[in-house]
Structure 1
């Protein structure tokens, strides 16, 4: 019987320092240190993020090994996020991973953060079905909005993407217009549960069949709120739930329309979602209903694997490890990286 492959994974692309240990496809630990410091600035401050990573990375890695009950000498390889992300943050994880792999004399695995969001679907979990190839994944986060077609683990094709802002940014900027604190996307989701999604209508952007645009929608929401507040200064406070529900309804409608177009154009009915915005209640609900209404097979990740986390880096590392697709010690972090790179 083969001994299991143990991989330590490190994720440091933005403002979360995360480490995980995987045994083949089973996650043994997944530890994340969040950075509260950014909330008062209304967004992530890159310099502060990289400093916090330097403080957090050693205790986070130690805790991940401890939780997994694994000694560092038992590790088969080290996986880390190569990009995309904030360069200062990526450098902390890259340098640590290279040093540790060198010290332990084990392989190094460089991971594309965007691919990892999608491949998180292959983490072995009880009562969780794995996607069948080919499948389409809607990757939605604060920095990305893409429809990606997967033929196998690492053969990916971008079918459509945003031409301006990402969907997560649209949620956060809309929340800011409403005076909600950062990050505002989850708050819009929370208040939307209590509101009427048809209370207000916002114009959906007219772009290509599989492409997205959110800058015009954000502007439309801003002008709408400004107009209403001129007539009633308490408009937001009195109608917050309905406003949030209407914004969320419009954004989710845009996402579902594009997915329907992708299914129509490709004939593929295996549909997955990934990325931070895939934690949104409404998109999960609508995708679940799509199985019943349109005969799709849908794959919705566990909440803990939606935001930036090292478990998704770990499973991608394992899939690269079994192909012996190791990185050189000369590998460098890349702030810009496409899902197909």
Structure 2
């Protein structure tokens, strides 16, 4: 896949698209949202969505109610009694979760697998997703991507949005099965329609590139905006760049600056750099030389250099430089606390 370089539309600020030209599958020990990109033009990290605690469809479910209140032993006893009384997919799923997490009982991946499989046999899509994630992550059992893919498809076909997203990632990566951008886009779209922010972002990348789907810049920007609205940090940065430049959306420097600030506060190095440039020039936000320098220091501490901002900081008075340094140190200290 060929990278493309987008023209700098604002030379003064250097607000250029940190273009996401592919989505890479990462498999961390625990995963929710992708980590912010740490340098320009980085490939956005797409992570599997970790399983959440199972949710029962039964009203006033005593076992699930106890589990959600942290009364794990009571939940275990209630779920065990129900599972023993006859097929009960919800109770079996909960027992799988209890053993997988070691909630109130010794952690036992083997028993978790056993209970999840019973629940799957009785129609639980949540159990299929949870067992898929155990296989995907190698959580207490040998990692088996093919088994994970099979289980994810079972859950996704029953409407599990997180399963659809993760299945899309596997098709995108092409390790468990042949790489297939069309199927990746299909499953991402299902998850995106269910408001999974990671899927919205991943689909926006495919729509922008025309991989697996016809290239559609407008649709890509809509997906990007939807993910940004759900606080997907990388999407916020890329959407802010588009808004600042008026690239496919109405130009709004103030709105872009607000998004850069939000993503900068979340620790994204690119956003910190862009917000520093915004403040240095007073574009979209009032000029603030000290804060511009402080944001630049934070971004630079993450490895994102910027000769323009280096020169900007060098021209500040010694007093301004001291204030910026103190402010940057304060922010770094707060982020670690």
Q: Please tell me the TM-score bracket, short chain as reference.
A: under 0.3
More helix by share: 2
User: What is the TM-score with the length of structure 2 in the denominator?
Assistant: 0.25
User: What is the TM-score with the length of structure 1 in the denominator?
Assistant: 0.25
More strand by share: 1
Tell me which of the two structures has the higher relative contact order, counting C-alpha pairs closer than 8 angstroms and 6 or more residues apart: 1
